[in-house]
Amino acid sequence: MNTLRVAWLYFRVGVMNELQYRVNFFVQLFQSLIQVGTGLVMLSLVYSHTTELNGWTESELLSLLGVQIMLGGFIHTFIQPNMELLMQDVQQGTLDYALTKPEDAQLLVSVRQVRIWQIVEVISGLVLLTVGLTGVESSIGIVDALAFGFALGIGGVLVYCFWLIITIGAFWVVRMEHVLELFEGIYQTGRWPVGVYPGWLRYSVTFLVPVAFAVTVPAQALTSRLQWQTLALSIGFGVVLFGFTRWFWHFGLRNYSGASA
């Protein structure tokens, strides 16, 4: 309960901070439009040369793109700013300020910042998803919708865990600023159904970097491709990865001696 209260408090402070910079909303809107536009151009290029890619039609891939942009927006709003701050704190020796607070340190480093204007990306993803779904032939039942929501939630947890595991690397490798490019690059693989990738890459973006679980699985739910086994595997993987992340965080902390000490 206390955990939620702390997270909520940080969220409110973060939002109030960001609301001071209202022009950023329009900047973000413009950036989202460019992002969506580039994505659409790539899709129309691909489908001007083919009618289906690995069994996915254009509308279905549009929904997938929507999910990818939506989840990307969630990452940019809630996860990435915190991870960047954590890396910066390790580099500059200011992490001690978070560690010495009475609340759980992993919670604190995960909720300290929120870039609320990035929520525009979530909305633009949602619009794409809706437009894509209207072109999908099979109708979406309530079960599909529930499975989608659930899979997306798990996807969020998986991406958070992945980001935190990588960021904890900062305890050993101090210069981590390029991690952002690494993640952004790999996250782009989510724009295409995981089935198009050759085996080694498919397994990498499924288990090593859980982009496939985070993006393809929810999109599968909406396009009536999801099998219950996949969803169960996704949940199991989520639980295991979360447990591992928790352990790895403590392991990393034990190795951290502070930059100023």
C-beta of residue 71 within 8 angstroms of C-beta of residue 152: yes
CA angle, 224 then 126 then 42, to 5° = 85
Record the tokens describing residue 220, joined without a space.
């599968």
We find the least distance from the C-beta atom of residue 52 to another protein, in angstroms, to be 8
Q: Which is nearer to another protein, 161 or 179 (CB)?
A: 179
We find the least distance from the C-beta atom of residue 7 to another protein, in angstroms, to be 28
Q: Which amino acid is at 200?
A: W
Q: Which is nearer to another protein, 166 or 259 (CB)?
A: 166
Going from the C-alpha of 90 to that of each of 109, 146, 171, the distances in angstroms are 11, 40, 7
Beta bridge partners of residue 56, listed in sequence order: 53
Q: Which is nearer to another protein, 159 or 231 (CB)?
A: 159
Residues in the chain: 261
Q: What is the dihedral of CA 179, 196, 62, 155, to 10 degrees?
A: -50
We find the least distance from the C-beta atom of residue 198 to another protein, in angstroms, to be 7
Q: Which is nearer to another protein, 167 or 220 (CB)?
A: 167
We find the least distance from the C-beta atom of residue 85 to another protein, in angstroms, to be 17
What is the rounded end-to-end Cα distance, in angstroms, of the chain? Answer: 34
Q: Which is nearer to another protein, 104 or 177 (CB)?
A: 177
Q: Which is nearer to another protein, 182 or 232 (CB)?
A: 182
C-beta of residue 71 within 8 angstroms of C-beta of residue 215: yes
We find the least distance from the C-beta atom of residue 39 to another protein, in angstroms, to be 10
Q: Which among 244, 240, 238, 253 has a CA at the least distance from the CA of 106?
A: 253
Quick one: 158 exposed, middle or buried, by C-beta within 10 A (0-12, 13-18, 19+)?
buried
Q: Which is nearer to another protein, 146 or 201 (CB)?
A: 201
We find the least distance from the C-beta atom of residue 237 to another protein, in angstroms, to be 21
Rounded Cα distance, 63 and 220, in Å = 10
- Write out the residues near another protein by the rule CB under 8 A: 23-24, 27, 30-31, 34-35, 37-38, 41-42, 45-46, 49-50, 53-54, 173, 175-186, 188-189, 191-192, 196-198, 200-201
We find the least distance from the C-beta atom of residue 93 to another protein, in angstroms, to be 18
